[in-house]
Amino acid sequence: MQERLGHSSIAMTMDTYSHVLPSMQRAASDEIDALFSSLRAKRPASCAE
């Protein structure tokens, strides 16, 4: 990524973009949770815990 952005070091890339990562991680976690929740709701009763 550093090379694609033309940054001279990984530190420059991380200093510029690291603030974005926590919200991206939360959004990804929320999407995965929604996916598993919908799959749980759709499974047959014979597969229930």
pLDDT of residue 23: 80
Pairwise CA distance, residues 5 & 40, whole Å: 41
pTM above 0.85, yes or no: no
The C-alpha R_g of the chain, in whole angstroms, comes to 19
Pairwise CA distance, residues 28 & 22, whole Å: 10
pLDDT of residue 48: 59
Residue 48 C-beta-side C-alpha neighbours within 13 Å: 5
- pLDDT, tens digit only, all 49 positions of the chain: 778 888 888 898 888 887 777 788 888 899 999 999 998 888 776 765 5
Residue 5 sits at the vertex; the CA angle it makes with 3 and 11, to the nearest 5 degrees, is: 75
pLDDT of residue 20: 74
Structure tokens at 2: 């550093």
